[in-house]
Amino acid sequence: MIRPATPDDSDDIARVFRISFQTAMPFLPVLHTPEEDRVFFRTRMFPTCEIWVADEDGVAGFIACRNGWIEHLYIHPAHQRRGLGGALLARAKKRFPELQLWAFQKNYNGIAFYKANGFSLVRQTDGAQNEEREPDALYVWSGP
């Protein structure tokens, strides 16, 4: 079930973020503690983003969007390849006529997912402007 997230979901969202992030992109440095993740979602993401969760007896994944930007889209590894990411993305596509996102260039599975869902590469960078200092790429989707 896809539903709007509530602030009570913030700790679960932070846990899904951490395990998904580390599993999908082990090449990235760990820059924050689990507590910092929880504070980040509670105090920065919830006040500024629309967040929806895939709920399967708990938060299995989530998407956070702001002004046509996908800030985060993560699915817990135990729930991947079951359509949850596509369902969350479809929800965002209904809400925004255009979506943009940054993806790390080495996140091959994520990039393949976005390309399969109609996103196009706009530009690539050397990563100098992101916290991880990892080359990334800007993708965009425009609705019908």
Domain segments of the chain as ranges: 2-142
Residues of 24-52 as b/e, b for ≥16 C-beta within 10 angstroms?
bbeebeeeeeeeebbeebbeebbeebbbb
| Band (38; pLDDT cuts 50, 70, 90) | very high
Cα 109 → chain centroid: 13
In CATH, 2-142 is 3.40.630.30: yes
Percent of the chain with pLDDT over 70: 100
* 84 and 130 Cβ atoms separated by less than 8 Å: no
Contact 135, 96 (CB under 8 A): no
Which distant-in-sequence residues (6+ apart) come within 8 Å of 109 by Cβ? 24
pLDDT, tens digit, 9 for 90 and up, residues 58-105: 999 999 999 999 999 999 999 999 999 999 999 999 999 999 999 999
What's the CA gap between 7 and 107, in Å, rounded?
29
As a whole number of angstroms, the longest Cα–Cα distance in the chain is 41
Rounded to whole angstroms, the Cα distance separating 103 from 35 reads: 24
pTM of the model: 0.94
